[in-house]
Amino acid sequence: MKDLTPQSGDALLIVDLQNDFLPGGSLAVPHGDQVIAPLKRYADFFRSASLPIFASRDWHPETHCSFEEQGGPWPPHCIQGTEGADFAAELNLADTVVISKAQTEEADAYSAFQGTDLDSRLKEKGVRRLFIGGLATDYCVLNTVRDAVKNTFEVVLLQDAIRAVNVNPEDEARALNEMRELGCRFATVNDICLDPAQASALLTDLYQLTMLKSYNDQGMTRQAVFEFFVRDLPPHRNFLMCAGVEPVLRYLEALHFSPQELDALKRSGRFPQELLDSLRTFRFTGDVDAMPEGTVFFANEPVLRITAPLPEAQFVETRIINLLHYSILVASKAARCVLAAQGRGRLVDFGLRRAHGAEAGWLAARSSFLAGFDGTATVLAEATDNIPVYGTMAHSYIQAHDSEEAAFYEFCRSWPQNTTLLLDTYDVFEATESVIRLSRKLEKNGIRIQGVRLDSGDMQEQAREVRRRLDEAGLEHIKIFVSGNLDEHAIAEYMANDIPVEGFGIGTRLVVSDDAPFLECAYKLQEYDGKPRRKRSKGKATLPGAKQVFRLRDAGGRFANDQLGLAAEELEGETLIAPMMRGGRRLHPSVSLQTLRAHAQLQLMALPEPLRSLGTAAPSYPVTVSENLKELTQKVDRQTHASSLGLNGSVFRTIADFFRKAF
C-alpha cells in the first residue's frame, strides 16, 4: 500500500477556502475557520516538497442562479471581485493554481471539476493522487471527491481540514461514509507533516482548568487582556531578544482537546461533565499582538498580548509562557555569542543532547538560528525550518576503528565532500600529523580534507600549534573548528587572542543558558471587560491596561530610548507591538525564519555600543513610562482599593471612558 507521504504524482487540492464560507461570511460553514491552520500546514508541506497545489473557488456573477433571489437555495456568496470571494487571508497562495467555477449566471458547480479544466491541468502535471481538504464536507468537497474518483484519481481526504454545513444533521456522516465507500483514504496533519512543537492540550497547569470552570459558572467570558513580559534582565545582561512567537501562533491555531485528551480528563473523575462538554468545542478565538521575533527588548516591556474571552486568554497562559520563555532565553544568549564572534567565525548549535528534552532541542536550534547562528547539528531543524545543518564525527567513531588514521581515512572516503576530522580522541598533535600524512594520500584520489575539530583541553594553545603545523605542511586551506564547553565569553577570548579558528560549535551552555537558566517572566491580566487591572504583590507589581512600546532612535539609527505607553496612545517612535492574529485567525501568512533572522541582525546592528558588551552596561538602556500610563496606574489603585471592600458591583469605568473623562 502506497504510504500517505505526499510524493511525485501527488497534488494538494484546497476546496473553496473563501471568506464567505468562513465565520462572518454570508454562507459561513460552522467552524469553517478551523480548517485554515491544517490546510496551511499541508500547503507548506506540498510547497516545500515542490508538489503542485490547486485551490478551487466559487466565482459567481452578482445574479447567480444559486442565489435565493434567483430561486436558488443560498444567499448571495462569493461574488467575483468581492472580499467574500477572496481566499482566507492567511493562506499563502504562492505557486498555487486557482480554479474558478460557476462563473456564469446559469452554471452552478459544487465540484471543482465541473465546467473547469482541472482534470486536464492535473493530468498535464502527472498528478495521479489528490489530497483534498476545504469547505464544505457535504457539498463541494463531496462532489469534488466524487468527480476525482470518476476521473481515476486516488483520493486522500484530509480529515482535519474539512467541515460540514449539516443542513440535515446527518449530512456530514453520510458524506464521510460515501467517500469512504468510494475508496478514499483518510489522513490528518500528523500523518503527513512533522510537527515538533505539537504538544497535548493537557500540557497545562491544573488551575487553568479549575479557573475555567469557575469563569464559566459565573459567566465571566468577556474580553480579557493579558501581556507576557520579563520583569528583570538577568545579571550582566543588557537586552533580550524576542523569540517563540511563531510557535505560539501555531499553538493557538491548533489548540483543541482531542477525544483522547477529553477521555483522560473524564477518567480523572475531577471534572463535571458540563466542563468536559465545553472543552469539546474549546478553541482560541482571540487576538494576538506581539513583537516580531528577533526584536530586541528590555525589562517590563510587553512582548506579546492576548485579547480574548477570559477563559481562553487564561487557559493559554501555561503553554504561551513555556514556549516564549525558553525561546527568548536561547535567542538572547545566542545573540550574545553572535556579538562576541564579530562575524569572524561560523556559529553552530551543538546543544541537542543536553537540552532539556526533545522540544528544547528543537526550539534551541530555531532560536539560535533566528539570533544569527549559521546553523545547527539537529537534523530535524532542517526538515522543519530549512536551517543549515552541520556535523562530522564523534569520538566513538575514532575509537571504533583500530587506529585513528584508519578512522580518518574511511570517513573521508564515505563523505568526500564533508571532511572535518576530530583531533582530540587520543592526542591532538599526533592526530594532526595523521591529517598531514593522509591529506597527501587523499589528494591523489581527489579528496580534500576541509577541516579539523578540537573538543577538549587548552584549545586556544592547540589551535595555534595545529595551525602552525598545517600551514607548514602547505595545508592552509584546512580550517580549524572548536567545540566543547563554549559560550559567549569563550568566543570573545578567541577573538581577543586572535586564535586561528574559523568556527565554533556551541552546545550545552547555549541551550541551557547556563548563566541565566530562567527569566523572571510573567503573563498577567491587564484588563478585563474594558477595565484596567494590576497586581500589587511586592516585587511582582504590574502596570495596568493594554500597552505598547514606543522606541526612539538616535541620529545614527541606534536605539536611544523606549517608552512604555498605553496601546491606545499615540506617542513618538516606532511601535514594537504589531497585530498578528484577530478572532483566532492570523492576519498574514507566516514569515520564514530566514526573514526573521534578517530582522534580528538589523536589531543587533542598531544596539547602542555599550549594550553590545558582554558585561553590564552602565547606565542601562532607558525605558520610561508615559504619563497616561502612570496616571492610569494610580487610578486603578485608588479604585481597586475602594472596591476591594464589597463583594458586588463594579465601580470601574471602561478604559475608553477613563480616557474620555480623564484627559
Count of residues that interact with a copy of itself, criterion CB under 8 A: 141
Cell numbers that stand for 88 in this block: 482566507
Report 267-286 residues binding a copy of itself (CB under 8 A): 267-268
Report the site for a copy of itself in 528-547 (rule: CB under 8 A): 528, 533-540
In the bound complex, what is the minimum distance in angstroms from residue 399's beta carbon to a copy of itself? 4
* CA triple 420-421-427, angle to 5 deg: 155
Contacting residue, 318, 450, 601, 626, with a copy of itself by CB under 8 A:
318
The nearest distance, CB 508 to a copy of itself, in angstroms, is: 5
Q: Whose CA is closest to 91, among 29, 159, 14?
A: 14
Residues numbered 2-61 forming contacts with a copy of itself, rule: CB under 8 A: 3-7, 48-49
Residue 184 annotated in active site: no
| Beta carbon of residue 611, minimum distance to a copy of itself (angstroms, whole number) | 25
In the complex, least distance from residue 49 CB atom to a copy of itself, rounded to whole angstroms: 6
> Segment near a copy of itself (CB under 8 A), from 127-135, 487-495, 506-514, 607-615?
506-514
> In the numeric block, which cell numbers belong to residue 227?
501581556
Residues with Cβ < 8 Å from 146, sequence gap 6 or more?
111, 178, 182
3-state SS string for 541-564: CCCCCCEEEEEEECCCCCEEEEEE
Judged by beta carbon, residue 179 or residue 611, the one nearer a copy of itself is: 179
Among 248, 249, 329, 449, binds a copy of itself (CB under 8 A): 329
Nearest-angstrom CA–CA distance, 418 and 333: 29
Q: Which of residues 236-265 bind a copy of itself (CB under 8 A)?
A: 259-265
Query: From the CB of 88, what's the least distance to a copy of itself, in Å?
Result: 25
Residues 151-190 that bind a copy of itself (CB under 8 A): 172-173, 176, 190
Catalytic residue among 16, 349, 374, 455: 16
Does residue 266 carry a catalytic annotation? no
Residues 393-422 that bind a copy of itself (CB under 8 A): 393-397, 399-406, 409-411, 413-415, 418
- Is 16 a known active-site residue? yes
Q: Which of residues 443-472 bind a copy of itself (CB under 8 A)?
A: 455-457
CA dihedral sign, ordered 412, 418, 419, 424: negative
Residue from 40, 78, 101, 562 carrying the catalytic annotation:
101
Q: Which of 355, 442, 501, 600 binds a copy of itself (CB under 8 A)?
A: 355
**Nearest Cα to Cα of residue 202 among 264, 269, 276, 280:** 264
Position among 383, 495, 568, 606 found at the interface with a copy of itself (CB under 8 A)? 383
The residue within the footprint of a copy of itself, chosen from 200, 592, 594, 595 (CB under 8 A), is 200
Q: Single out the residue of 273, 556, 645, 663 in contact with a copy of itself (rule: CB under 8 A).
A: 645
Adjacency order of strands within the sheet including 420-422? 375-376, 346-349, 503-506, 479-483, 451-454, 420-422
Least gap, CB of 242 to a copy of itself (angstroms) = 17
- Residue pair 62/26 in contact (Cβ under 8 Å)? The answer is no
What whole-number distance in Å separates Cα of residue 300 and Cα of residue 308?
22
CA–CA dist 58, 74 (Å, integer)? 13
Q: How many residues does the structure list for the chain?
A: 663
Q: What is the DSSP letter of 521?
A: E
Q: How far apart are CA 171 and CA 164, in angstroms?
A: 8
Return the active site residues: 16, 101, 140
